[in-house]
Amino acid sequence: MDECTVLARDLTIVNTRGLHARASAKLVKLVETFDAHVRVSKDGQTVGGTSIMGLMMLAASPGCSIHVVVTGNQKEEAISAIAHLVEDGFGERD
């Protein structure tokens, strides 16, 4: 795949607090490790994957679905890591 190819995936928020400040910060920190451009959408609102405030403004509560779109040289690695983080509840155990 070339860097212009777009990868997209729908993910369900499973942690009990949703996409709150700490979870958003973890997602941003992860996204910043890849040579990729990430956009996250919910209910027609799209924000950059490197904006903690933007991610929090999506108000993605438990059970909500978010749509993640990734482009760039490391898009496969990025979308896989993002999916793992979200599916693992952002590492939260409560």
At 25-66, the pLDDT tens digits run 999 999 999 999 999 999 999 999 999 999 999 999 999 999
Give the range of the structural domain holding residue 34, as residue numbers without chain letter.
7-91
Which positions are catalytic? 20
- 6 neighbors 79 (Cβ within 8 angstroms): no
- 33 within a domain of the structure (yes/no): yes
pLDDT in the model for residue 2: 64
pLDDT tens figures, 59-82: 999 999 999 999 999 999 999 999
CATH of the domain at 49: 3.30.1340.10
Q: Give domain status of residue 2, yes or no.
A: no
Q: Is residue 1 part of a domain?
A: no
Burial class (CB in 10 A: 0-12, 13-18, 19+), 52: middle
